[in-house]
Structure 1
């Protein structure tokens, strides 16, 4: 999740400091159910196109704004390629999770990085095997930077910084 070696600063407030529940202990009624995992693509180019289409970047469209509960997020076709480059991960399968996480996040955190930049971490909590982290680069214009699927325990590691939004109370 790094940009040329940049890393989140240690010792930022976390979900534990704020007395929030572990994602693994969240009442299932607060989790989202209706998101599907897509089939994997047959090639890098097909995966890139699948992700671009999933974010509303139809043929010839290079960027789109997606409204979130916090700020609009800019999705650029050029920044989506690196999300699918590691073909063994087949992240294109989780495009609907990523888009849904932007529009219906469980939480949004603003994390400080050692290069003096900030990232927004959109946390997607689902009643499913996979959870979603969507990373937005603030200094580059609130642009979608990356997304990844993980388990609930792994998602807790990204719940740090300044809590900007939460769907639950």
Structure 2
């Protein structure tokens, strides 16, 4: 599919459209998104045992027509990214998989070669995450300290970008999670939702490269209990994987941090994920929820990515 993206830059999800189709998969029927949309990274059929769904490519003319060959309308809005916890009855291990996708089917499980490549890639990402975590800890990485943006950096106003309040979000907001009773419970909630192993790390692919989520830094995210940021855990991965903007901001402590901004439909707050650049890679540093007007003030630095 990637080889034909110039002539057919869109993919359409197709089910058998009968009474045997899973409800979650039925909701994806005729879902049509760009080839490089993050949705396809974890929802490539088959998405479960005996799943009969498939994906076909579409050219720009077909996409512009807004209808499938049978005349049914296309759905061009990516669904909200939701995960479900699965417990391995044998080991007790808890894993997070996308809603509607069986455990172990979070990539193209139907083609052996792609399975092998995906396994190799995941192994490399896991090793990279572990190596980065070890290197960061060896360097004495500490939870974030107070730092301020350097002055005289570009802003959304100097770049003549639209006010965020004028934009229409494309993704429905996930439901807020329950407020945790303690910091330890909040950290556990973040771990489970984000898929971060205890005492370890995981990698997430973003438009600006791979980002590491480290268990060591999750406590800092939720330590301000008035904010209860663990409630926004389901907002984090969509913000990293499908951001609306990414800004590279310089701070007065000599660090560079990327600001991933995502707007959500139906939410009081939008989300900003701060990612710090380290010699061995990028690490999630903090999560901030802001009203849309106030989020404008955080659009500072070099704009390195903007969703089309």
TM-score (structure 1 length as normaliser)? 0.91
Displacement of 1:34 after TM fit? Answer: 4.2
Query: 1:4, 1:129 → 2: CA distance?
Result: 28
1:10 — aligned with what? Answer: 151
CA separation of 1:88 and 1:5: change in aligned 2, threshold 3 A? closer
Query: 2:193, 2:239 → 1: CA distance?
Result: 13
Would you say how many aligned residue pairs link Structure 1 and Structure 2?
Answer: 164
2:7 — aligned with what? Answer: none
Aligned counterpart for 1:131 among listed residues 253, 258, 270: 270
Name which one, 1 or 2, has greater alpha-carbon Rg.
Answer: 2
Aligned counterpart for 2:225 among listed residues 71, 87, 107: 87
Q: Secondary structure at the match of 1:138?
A: strand
Superposed CA deviations along residues 46-103 of structure 1, whole A, max 9, x for unmatched, are 1001011111114x46100001111100000010101111111110000111221001
- Where does the alignment leave 5 or more consecutive residues of structure 2 unmatched? 1-142
RMSD (CA atoms):
1.6
Matching of residues 46-57 of structure 1 within 5 Å? 46-57=185-196
1:37 maps onto 2:189 in alignment = no
Higher relative contact order (CA 8 A, sep 6+): 1
Matching of residues 9-158 of structure 1 within 5 Å? 9-26=150-167, 28=168, 30-58=169-197, 60=198, 62-127=200-265, 128-139=267-278, 141-158=281-298
TM-score (structure 2 length as normaliser)? 0.51
Query: 1:3, 1:41 → 2: CA distance?
Result: 22
Query: 1:11, 1:18 → 2: CA distance?
Result: 13
Superposed CA deviations along residues 119-162 of structure 1, whole A, max 9, x for unmatched, are 00000111221100100010263100000111001111111100
- Where does the alignment leave 5 or more consecutive residues of structure 1 unmatched? none
**Does the 8 Å CA contact 2:205/2:241 hold for their aligned counterparts?**
yes
